[in-house]
């Protein structure tokens, strides 16, 4: 967990809560196979690995997109790679 301080973990929803809120289980990190991943909740939502720092794909918001659509996109893209 030496890299922990690199991340703004206050803005990361833990995998258990993602599953609860979105009904989707996050896959393991495709790089380090850690299950310690979460959803970054900033303006450009993406899945981030808290073990190795890998960031998943993200979609920048377009007009008409709401933040939840971007969060779903991030989860689905991550799971396709995981
Ligand atoms: Zn990782």
User: For 4-47, how does the pLDDT look when each residue is reduced to its tens digit (9 = 90+)?
Assistant: 555 566 789 999 999 999 999 999 999 999 999 999 998 889 99
Dist CA 7 CA 10 (whole Å)? 9
| Structural domain range at position 12 | 4-81
CA–centroid distance, residue 28 to ligand 1 (Å): 8
CA–centroid distance, residue 69 to ligand 1 (Å): 24
CA–centroid distance, residue 64 to ligand 1 (Å): 32
Dist CA 10 CA 8 (whole Å)? 5
Q: With beta carbons less than 8 A apart as the criterion, state whether 7 and 42 touch.
A: no
Q: What is the number of structural domains in the chain?
A: 1
Query: Tell me: the pLDDT tens digits for 47-64?
Result: 999 999 999 998 877 777
* pTM for the whole structure: 0.83
CA–centroid distance, residue 75 to ligand 1 (Å): 15
Neighbours of ion ligand 1 (CB under 5 A): 29, 31-32, 34, 49, 51-52, 54
Dist CA 37 CA 9 (whole Å)? 11
Length of the chain: 82
């Amino acid at each position: 967990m030496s890299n922990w301080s690199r991340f703004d973990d206050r803005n990361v929803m833990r995998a258990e809560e993602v599953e609860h809120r979105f009904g989707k289980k996050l896959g393991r990190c495709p790089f380090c196979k850690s299950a310690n991943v979460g959803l970054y909740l900033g303006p450009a939502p993406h899945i981030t690995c808290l073990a190795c720092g890998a960031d998943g794909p993200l979609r920048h918001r377009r007009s008409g997109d709401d933040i939840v659509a971007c969060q779903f996109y991030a989860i689905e893209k991550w799971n396709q790679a995981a």
